[in-house]
Amino acid sequence: MAASLELQTPQQHSSSPVSTASSAISMEGTVLCSANHAPLTPISFLERTALVYPDRLAIVASDGSAGGVARTWRETRARCLRLAAALTGRLGVQRHDVVAVFAQNIPAVCELHFGVPMAGAVICTLNSRLDAAMAAVLLRHSEAKVVFVDRALLGVAQKALVLVAEAGARRPVLVLISELLDDEPSLASDAKIKVTRVDYEYEHLLSAAAAGSSPDFAIRWPADENEPIALNYTSGTTSRPKGVIYSHRGAYLSSLAAVIVNAMAETPVYLWTVPMFHCNGWCLVWGVAAQGGTNVCVRRVTAAAIFDSVARHGVTHMGGAPTVLSMIVNATAEEQRPMALLAPGGRRRVTVMTGGAPPPPQVLFRMEEHGFLVIHSYGLTETYGPATVCTWKPEWDALPAAERAQIKSRQGLHHVGLEAADVKDPATMRSVPADGRTVGEVMLRGNTVMSGYYKDGGATAEALAGGWLRSGDLAVREEDGYIKILDRSKDIIISGGENISTVEVEAVLFGHPAVEEAAVVGRPDEYWGETPCAFVKLRGGGGGATAAEELMAFCRARLPRYMAPRTVVVVEEELPKTATGKVQKVALRERAKAMGSLPAAASSSSRRAPTGTAGSGRSKL
């Protein structure tokens, strides 16, 4: 254990003689030195956990036995140091260079979250569902010096690098992560991988660094905690990528807030159903390390994988967009394993943080029945993931299920790591009253708000104008102060001068037992400007005009007339989604537009005597 004593700690200030701090901020006798001041950084989490929990599992993948990955925190730290040594040595990475990662949720991505910052560099995890063209755009925009590529994505990455080179930009060094999981064919037998275009292989790089005669790599601690640690591209357009910059300070504080909000006691077991490329896994790649937890990696998020992981590894926490929740509640009897069976006494509960969209009430009910505790949070890439949480109060436990679901579907209030979440009139910057009616824009402020958009001072200034991050989400404040989001400002439907929250219409649709997926967008309407158009997937497929008619009637019975969809399209395939499980409303809006405007006569009359326009209900996406 002598090695444990060599753990490193940051030293921002000279250690001797101690320097006296500015008298303006201090009382006589105050000093700032390395004894009492260290830049906040998630690197410290790994250093401490490797000392406290050296033998505890840090990362497992597959079943953790033959062929699978099962590494302790001691091993993980050693590998991260080797990775940092390879980056700064062989790969010549300098401070603040961008190192890209293009991978699914595999063990190496956990390591890269520490190894890259330890090299003083900035980790940029790319969405694993990018196509080559978009990946090329982001690699160029980020000016990544190195890109670590999951073997499952090598083909796309190689195409992207060709595009980068064709555009005359510097081609990043490609490091292939070829580590196998149990259920994968071996690399050697995979003829599709053109290894000739691979510069390095991950494990070889680490082995070479270990074989070097030099002692432990000296961590490049940030000199200032506001230095960048990560770059996260939002799902922007190819013409103007938005690269959100995270600082070491923000990442540290956001990680601790995530630990507290998720009620993560020591040594949690975290199942990676949230993509690690998404806000650095809502900062939990770092947060799990802070608590000496175990990361359970799965390539494919399926109901079976979730229930299996809970059974095998004793998962305590996970997260995901409502799609992941739907996956759990719609699991077949074969896939499901009631939590009560997994833990004698039925006490085990898995805490699931959800976000991205409000979970439909039906989904919440069924999650509870399955033994999952759902925490509803809301956030943006610009807030390091979760920014608000619908903090649950004990007095709500006794309410009827429908009311509980209603309460929990709200976005709530800012977590402990943020200073404020407010709903404001974006023009006057005045807070809206807590009346549940007055609509404003959600605005956020605090240490877990991004440093800015990379190379886009204009967009940064716009987003942070007035001293608040403007979310672009429209919301009200309910009487208990909790924030309830109505819609993205760009998603709101304006029909005859009335604002319609597509989220509210969707919530009603989800209340219909046959509905599995639903999304509402505006469709051009000659009379009303636009009217709600719903795209719906039914349980077990099927549909047609009858189903569409029934759903329209269902909504009219439960919503003000002007809010009920005037078009319902029943589709047989899944709705198009982003990598993080959000429905791509842009695609649906284009589809609604392509249907053409609803004629004025039909529309204006149907507000009184609705007949529906279910003709398009047979369309497929």
Distance CA 606, CA 604 (A): 6
- Give the nearest distance from C-beta 241 to a copy of itself in angstroms: 12
Q: Is residue 411 within the footprint of a copy of itself (CB under 8 A)?
A: no
Task: Please give the residues from 54 up to 83 whose contact with a copy of itself meets the rule CB under 8 A.
Answer: 54, 56
Can you tell me which of 133, 223, 494, 601 binds a copy of itself, judged by CB under 8 A?
223
CA dihedral 64, 70, 72, 76 (to 10 degrees): -160
Residue 436: CB atoms within 10 A of its CB come to 13
Q: Is residue 232 within the footprint of a copy of itself (CB under 8 A)?
A: no
Considering CB under 8 A, how many residues would be counted as binding a copy of itself? 102
Q: Is residue 245 within the footprint of a copy of itself (CB under 8 A)?
A: yes
Q: What is the DSSP letter of 425?
A: -
CB nearer to a copy of itself: pick between 133 and 416: 416
8 Å CB contact between 503 and 485: yes
Q: Is residue 419 within the footprint of a copy of itself (CB under 8 A)?
A: yes
Distance CA 606, CA 566 (A): 9
Can you tell me which of 111, 150, 201, 227 binds a copy of itself, judged by CB under 8 A?
227
CB nearer to a copy of itself: pick between 447 and 603: 447
CB nearer to a copy of itself: pick between 224 and 403: 224
Distance CA 20, CA 580 (A): 49
Q: Is residue 468 within the footprint of a copy of itself (CB under 8 A)?
A: yes
The contacts of residue 298 (CB under 8 Å, 6+ apart) are: 61, 105, 271, 272, 273, 305, 309
Distance CA 621, CA 617 (A): 11
Q: Is residue 399 within the footprint of a copy of itself (CB under 8 A)?
A: no
Task: Please give the residues from 152 up to 181 whose contact with a copy of itself meets the rule CB under 8 A.
Answer: none
Helix (H) or strand (E) holding 302: none
Q: Is residue 122 within the footprint of a copy of itself (CB under 8 A)?
A: yes
Residue 156: CB atoms within 10 A of its CB come to 22
- Give the nearest distance from C-beta 224 to a copy of itself in angstroms: 4
| Amino acid, single-letter form, for residue 605 | S
Q: Is residue 114 within the footprint of a copy of itself (CB under 8 A)?
A: no
Closest CA to 454 of 463, 445, 446: 463
CB nearer to a copy of itself: pick between 157 and 469: 469
> Tokens at residue 501, please?
């929250």
Can you tell me which of 113, 404, 445, 585 binds a copy of itself, judged by CB under 8 A?
445
Distance CA 519, CA 463 (A): 27
Q: Is residue 224 within the footprint of a copy of itself (CB under 8 A)?
A: yes
Q: How far is CA 307 from the centre of its chain?
A: 21
- Binding track, positions 548-587, relative to a copy of itself; x by CB under 8 A: ----------------------------------------
Q: Is residue 454 within the footprint of a copy of itself (CB under 8 A)?
A: yes
Between strands 146-150 and 122-126, the pairing is unpaired
Q: Is residue 451 within the footprint of a copy of itself (CB under 8 A)?
A: yes
Q: Is residue 44 within the footprint of a copy of itself (CB under 8 A)?
A: yes
* Stretch of 48-56, 100-108, 205-213, 486-494 contacting a copy of itself, by CB under 8 A: 48-56
Can you tell me which of 87, 118, 134, 290 binds a copy of itself, judged by CB under 8 A?
290
Task: Please give the residues from 474 up to 533 whose contact with a copy of itself meets the rule CB under 8 A.
Answer: 477, 479-481
8 Å CB contact between 247 and 451: yes
